[in-house]
Amino acid sequence: MRERKAVIEVGTNSVKYCLAEVSGEGAFRVLKDVNEIARLGEGLRETGRIASGALERNVQVVAAFAEKARGEGAETIALMGTMALRSAANADDFIGRVRERTGFSLIVLSGDEEAKLSYDAAVSGIPGADVADLLVFDTGGGSTEFVYGRSGAIDRRFSLDVGSLRITELYLTPTPVPPERLNEARAAIRRELADGGVTGPVELLVGMGGNVTSLVSVKLGMAVYDRDAIQGAVLALDEVRRQVAAYASQTMEERRRTVGLVPQRADVILAGACIVEAIMELCGRDRCSVSDRGIRHGMMARLFQGRS
């Protein structure tokens, strides 16, 4: 069997597991890519701490993925955390529990490190990205990472605490969402992004993460998620706005019945769509290329290239 490595990514909204094997000098082929919504950041905004239920729930998911990685022959298993673990006062408790259950140390990425991994993953998977004047964004539950690049080199990168879970908790409940609450959310997102440095114009805009890939999945009416169809797809601003209007007008149960949308993402998809909408507007782009790759793929590239 060829050399195999695994990456487990613990985000604010979900835990992702990626298994890959070597396919050439420094190159790899993805064998498994699984996403389980486990909500580590549930209630984090109010308390500044990971809730006990969310902590144990996510530890269980991480432990199960680590066991799967061992069973599937991974010689290296890398665990990494993002926004929720950067901000939670009791992040060390979670990291300690993970170490107890798995035997592995989990590293918490800085916002800059997360942004760089997103950029590496996007540039490797979108034609023309390595030579374009572009912005790569990766919107998650707790934050959104931004990387501006030109001809394959990074100009600037930063992370903003604008994520779908936080925006949902602040503005977008109950459902259906009243128009004034939706307008308030849109204005707040746009203000925070603009104040944080999100601006255009750019030649190419590349979106990553579960929120933007879900928008494409819904657009294509995917009853079964197809990564190959998502990778490199183009998402129009008009389609994003159409979905914003649809989700805002629906009950939670109606959202869960949307073809192409994972039911567990139904409560945060409106906020995610609003974030994508605001980024496209601020950058002056009516089209966005979409990458199914993410920071786990960027980390995987580092592992196979011996740069971990």
- What CATH number is associated with residue 204? 3.30.420.150
Average pLDDT across the chain, whole number = 94
Same domain, 278 and 264: yes
Q: How does pLDDT run across 151-198, given as a tens digit for each residue?
A: 888 999 998 999 999 999 999 999 999 999 999 999 999 999 999 999
Q: How does pLDDT run across 58-76, given as a tens digit for each residue?
A: 999 999 999 999 999 999 9
Same domain, 192 and 222: yes
Same domain, 47 and 188: no
- Under the banding of pLDDT at 50, 70 and 90, the label for residue 53 is very high
- pLDDT at residue 307 tops 70: no
What's the pLDDT score for residue 24?
78
Q: How does pLDDT run across 97-107, given as a tens digit for each residue?
A: 999 999 999 99
Q: Is residue 49 part of a domain?
A: yes
Same domain, 86 and 168: no
User: pTM score, two decimals?
Assistant: 0.83
What's the pLDDT score for residue 283?
97
- pLDDT at residue 142 tops 70: yes
The total of structural domains in the chain comes to 2
Domain containing 51 equals 4-111+295-304
The whole-number average pLDDT for the span 81-86 is 95
Same domain, 218 and 268: yes
The whole-number average pLDDT for the span 260-288 is 97
The whole-number average pLDDT for the span 70-96 is 97
Name which of 191, 216, 187 is nearest 288 in CA terms. 216
Same domain, 176 and 240: yes
**Angle 91-102/52-71 helices, nearest 10 degrees?**
30
Same domain, 144 and 237: yes
Residue in the structure block whose two tokens are 């604010």: 12
What's the pLDDT score for residue 308?
56
| Length of the chain as a residue count | 308
| The two structure tokens encoding residue 64 | 């199960």
Name which of 162, 165, 163 is nearest 193 in CA terms. 162
- pLDDT at residue 229 tops 90: yes
- Under the banding of pLDDT at 50, 70 and 90, the label for residue 204 is very high
Q: Is residue 251 part of a domain?
A: yes
The whole-number average pLDDT for the span 47-54 is 97
Q: Is residue 83 part of a domain?
A: yes
- Cα separation, 59 vs 77, in Å, equals 16
| The two structure tokens encoding residue 89 | 């006062």
Residues 6+ apart with CB under 8 A from 83: 11, 12, 41, 111, 114, 140, 141, 142, 143, 159, 161, 163
Residues 6+ apart with CB under 8 A from 244: 182, 270, 273, 274, 277
Q: What is the 3-state secondary structure (H, E, C) of the chain?
A: CCCEEEEEEECCCEEEEEEEEEEECCEEEEEEEEEEECCCCCCHHHHCCCCHHHHHHHHHHHHHHHHHHHHCCCCEEEEEECHHHHHCCCHHHHHHHHHHHHCCCEEECCHHHHHHHHHHHHHCCCCCCCCCEEEEEEECCCCEEEEEEECCEEEEEEEECCCHHHHHHHHCCCCCCCHHHHHHHHHHHHHHHHHCCCCCCCCEEEEECHHHHHHHHHHHCCCCCCHHHHCCCEEEHHHHHHHHHHHHHCCHHHHHCCCCCCHHHCCCHHHHHHHHHHHHHHCCCCEEEECCCCHHHHHHHHHHCCCC
The whole-number average pLDDT for the span 117-146 is 88
Q: Is residue 188 part of a domain?
A: yes
- pLDDT at residue 213 tops 90: yes
Same domain, 272 and 149: yes
Same domain, 154 and 266: yes
- Cα separation, 232 vs 207, in Å, equals 10
Same domain, 133 and 229: yes
| % of the chain beyond a pLDDT of 90 | 84
Q: Is residue 255 part of a domain?
A: yes
Q: What is the CATH number of the domain that holds 86?
A: 3.30.420.40
Q: Is residue 72 part of a domain?
A: yes
Same domain, 11 and 104: yes
Is the model more confident about 18 or about 153? 18
- Cα separation, 275 vs 282, in Å, equals 11
Same domain, 54 and 41: yes
Q: Is residue 116 part of a domain?
A: no
The overall longest dimension of the chain from CA atoms, in Å, is 58
Task: Say which amino acid occupies 43.
Answer: G
